Amino acid sequence: MIRRPPRSTLSSSSAASDVYKRQVSTQSTGLPRSEMAEPGSAVLRASAEEERIDLPEVLSRFGVFEMPTDASGGTILKADSLDDIHAYSVVPHEEFKLRGANYLADGVKVRASEPMMHLCKVDMYRSEKKVYSVVRDDPRILQELKQQATPETEFMVVNFLCPIHPFVNVVLYFKTDPDRIQANGSKAFKEMLDCFLNSPPTSRNDQWRLRTLKLLAQCKKGPWAVRKAMGPPVIIGRKLTTTFVVEPDYLEVCIDVSSSAIARGILRLVVDAAAGLIVDLGFCLEGQNEEQLPEQLLGTVRLQRVNLGLLDYKLDMTNFSGGGSRAPAGGEGESSGSAGRLDFLARVRDGCCGGCGC
């Protein structure tokens, strides 16, 4: 049985989380990071029989095991430095280049200014089936984010659905910065953003969203093959099947990575080298005329050396909270789960690799 502890337990365990970030091995198998980061690794290998990618069932070795989480409730820890593993951070906006004010005439891109949205948290979890709308499945996610926001704040959720056996969702939660938008956003940008977030989910509006949302992906650290595969910025709706859930207080974008053979090939490279990768993602609305330029960055995220083998399952939606959990059988799951997690961290402090089940 795999589960997450109550949020109160997680938020009060920062010391344990620090130990986790410093000392957990980069793969639960106990192999060194250098070995795990090589493409073609025997631990994470693409299945020859199907398009989905098989992952080791490492969590079963721990019995009841609880992952440390970020204070915001996300299932991936917020990084303190580039040395942290299984963590996320915000990418410095200067590391992205967007279309400048005169791009249509001179083709020049300029360093991006501060993003118009803040990254609230990051969830990554495994699932037995495709989960296309995490907020609709569990409204509590948004309710918790709203508690730390003003009434004017709007939310954008980006949900990458990855065909990693069985499935893995990478979910990014952003909230708007009304003051920054008011101060730095042009009239055209404000209209575009309002249209993108709030226009009714008609076929015409969704087609415009598909033509407008741009993904910027770059590999800050990793094998040459992965860095090369990231490529230039793309209008994501032209490459991958992308759907939208539009509600009065949020927009959810679901990007199905399994819908493209090229994307699946890139994903195989990423999975094989995940333990050593640092990947930066950025989002913007493409400026297609002079009024819509220069482009403005919406939000960014940096994923650092994600340990795919340690991702939790999202099995029981009625007990799902913030990123994937399964309700324990009976009423004693909470105490036994806490003991399991503390026992794991104790073994890590003693030098255990975390994957041997000792």
Using one digit for the tens of pLDDT, what is the confidence trace for 274-285? 889 999 999 999
How would residue 347 be classed by pLDDT, with cut points 50, 70 and 90?
very low
Residue 329 is predicted with a pLDDT of 30
Greater confidence (209 vs 72) lies with 209
Give 198-215 pLDDT, tens digit per residue. Answer: 999 999 999 999 999 999
List helix spans (H) across the chain: 7-11, 14-23, 33-36, 103-106, 134-137, 140-146, 178-184, 187-198, 203-212, 224-230, 236-239, 261-273, 333-349
Note whether 307 and 125 are within 8 A (CB): no
Report the C-alpha gap between 264 and 284 in whole angstroms.
23
For the segment 11-37, the average pLDDT, to the nearest whole number, is: 38
Q: Is the pLDDT of residue 331 over 50?
A: no
Give 124-134 pLDDT, tens digit per residue. Answer: 988 888 888 99
56, two tokens = 């080791």
Sign (positive/negative) of CA torsion 175, 179, 180, 183? positive
Give 157-207 pLDDT, tens digit per residue. Answer: 999 999 887 789 999 999 999 999 999 999 999 999 999 999 999 999 999
Across the chain, what does the average pLDDT equal? 75
Q: Return all residues near 273 (Cβ < 8 A) that are at least 6 apart.
A: 37, 38, 39, 41, 222, 223, 226
pTM (two decimals): 0.71
248, two tokens = 């009065």
Coil, strand or helix at 71: coil
| Residue in this structure with the two tokens 């949302």, named with its chain if needed | 213
Report the C-alpha gap between 112 and 98 in whole angstroms.
6
How would residue 63 be classed by pLDDT, with cut points 50, 70 and 90?
very low
Residue 342 is predicted with a pLDDT of 39
Q: Return all residues near 46 (Cβ < 8 A) that are at least 6 apart.
A: 53, 54, 268, 271, 272
